Amino acid sequence: MKTCLVVDDSKVIRKVARHILESLEFQVCEAVDGQDGVEQCETVNPDVILLDWNMPVMGGMDFLRAVRAKGQTAKVIFCTTENGLPQIEAAIAAGADEFIMKPFDRDMLQSKLELVGAA
């Protein structure tokens, strides 16, 4: 069974993502911010990371740089309301694999998982 780490400060987003991901037969772990996510990556080693852009303590970009620097190879899907081209380019340059806009549904998330080869 594949594992997905959901890194988002919104309890509602984590709950919705968990529900969708479990229906797609993923084991789901949750982190409340980037720092929590970095710590969980050290023990969980997820196949996929669903990552929020704006979070307290450590944001999505800092999280992404930190885990890539540590050799984390999980597919990363940014889940965000940020849709400007400069943000997308920066995320891809930092190691993100794909983007999904909030709010998202099962079909949208499944499509992105398929695009990164994780579904």
Residue ranges of the domains in the chain?
Answer: 2-105
The one-letter code for the residue type at 18 is: R
pLDDT of residue 82: 67
Mean pLDDT per 10-residue segment, the chain (119 residues): 96 96 98 97 95 93 95 93 80 91 93 94
| CA distances (Å), origin 79, targets 1, 36, 43 | 22, 17, 23
Going by CATH, does the domain composed of 2-105 fall within 3.40.50.2300? yes
What are the phi and psi torsion angles at 71 (to 5°)?
90, 10
Dihedral sign computed on CA atoms, order 16, 74, 36, 78 = negative
State the Cα–Cα distance between residues 118 and 112, nearest whole angstrom.
9
What is this structure's pTM? Answer: 0.95
